[in-house]
Amino acid sequence: MARRRQVEEDDVSLFPFLSIIAAVIGVLTLMIAAVALDQMNQEDVKETVQRAIEMEIVRGQIAESEGLVEKLKLQLEAEKAKLLGDASQRQLELVKSRAELDALIRQLQQAKEDLQTKQKVKIVIPEVPEAERETIADMQGQLAAIKERLAILDRQLKERNKPPEESQVTVTPGGSGLRYKPIFVECAAGAIVLHTEKPPLRIRAAEIPANAKFVALMEKVANSPQHSMIFLLRSDGLGVYRAAKRLCDTNDVRNGKLPVVGNGRLDLSRFADAK
């Protein structure tokens, strides 16, 4: 019994040494880990701080750019409004100028029409060729014919107990010619008779183109849209009528004709009443 106790007393325990080694290793491990973590955290912090600074710089640049964009937008809006205002003003000025131009064109057209209306037409009588001019022999022949006719009429009057009553031919208005004021010219044998004169003026056929009163009547009709020359055509005055009408047509003188039946004195009082 005593020997067994001795063996138990001689045993050595290694627990404290191993515990110390384990503790030291643990402490060293913790220190290494702490140092490593510390170094790692410092790099991350620096990077994070640098990124934060860069982000702030970028944000500032973005804010500045946004402000510049807004400023440019406001300037563009102002320029757009100004351009719209200028365009509206120019449109109004263009419309006004166009209206003034149209008014001037109308005034110019009216002035041209007034000038054409007021411009007096002058009748130009063409010169009669020498071969067609009336000679003294022609005049003497006409005079002889007239004397012969007067002698016949004188004999007829002497054969009657009393002088014959003069017949009368009445000319009445009618038809589309009522819208014109007539100027009557009688076409008889070898002459025309102007019933505008008091007493009526007789003009021989050869003297018609050079007669001042007949030329004045043609100018009056040519310059007045209300007047028209009316030829009163006797049965024996066809040749004279053609010559007078040709002269009027050559000078654009408005004219017409009315046939007269019989050889009596013309009565134009109906036209005087119509006026």
Percent of the chain residues past pLDDT 70, beyond the cut: 69
Q: State yes or no: pLDDT of 103 exceeds 60.
A: yes
> Cα-flanking dihedrals φ and ψ of residue 139, to 5°?
-65, -40
pLDDT at 162: 54
How far is residue 254's CA from residue 241's CA, in Å, rounded to a whole number?
14
Q: Is residue 198 part of a domain?
A: yes
Among 117, 142, 160, the domain-final residue is 117
List alpha helices for the chain, DSSP H: 2-9, 15-118, 136-159, 212-222, 238-250, 269-274
How far is residue 43's CA from residue 4's CA, in Å, rounded to a whole number?
65
Q: Is residue 38 part of a domain?
A: yes
Q: How many domains does the chain have?
A: 2
Among 117, 145, 170, the domain-final residue is 117
Among 117, 148, 168, the domain-final residue is 117
pLDDT at 274: 46
pLDDT range class, residue 1, cuts 50, 70, 90: very low
How far is residue 215's CA from residue 221's CA, in Å, rounded to a whole number?
10
Q: What is the pLDDT of residues 249-264, one digit of tens each?
A: 988 888 988 888 777 6
Q: Is residue 80 part of a domain?
A: yes
pLDDT at 273: 47
Q: State yes or no: pLDDT of 176 exceeds 50.
A: no
What's the domain range around 38? 25-117
Reported as type and span, the H/E element at residue 188 is strand 181-188
Q: What is the pLDDT of residues 58-83, one digit of tens each?
A: 888 888 888 888 888 888 888 888 88
Q: Is residue 126 part of a domain?
A: no
How far is residue 267's CA from residue 166's CA, in Å, rounded to a whole number?
12
Residue-wise DSSP of 148-173? HHHHHHHHHHHHSSSPPPPPEEE---
Q: Is residue 175 part of a domain?
A: no
Indicate if 110 and 190 belong to the same structural domain: no
Indicate if 32 and 104 belong to the same structural domain: yes
Q: Is residue 140 part of a domain?
A: no
Q: What is the average pLDDT score of the chain?
A: 76
| N residues, the chain | 275
The pLDDT of 3-12, averaged and rounded, is 54
The pLDDT of 223-229, averaged and rounded, is 87
Longest dimension (CA), the chain: 228
Q: What is the pLDDT of residues 111-150, one digit of tens each?
A: 777 766 656 666 666 666 666 666 777 777 777 777 787 7
For residue 185, give the nearest of 175, 194, 198 by alpha carbon: 194
What separation in angstroms does the CA of 174 have from each of 56, 258, 264?
A: 109, 11, 21
The residue that leads in pLDDT, 165 or 204, is 204
Q: Is residue 232 part of a domain?
A: yes
Indicate if 190 and 111 belong to the same structural domain: no
- Report helix, strand or coil for 253: coil
Q: Is residue 190 part of a domain?
A: yes
Burial 220-230 (b: 16+ CB within 10 A, else e): bbbbeeebbbb
How far is residue 97's CA from residue 107's CA, in Å, rounded to a whole number?
15
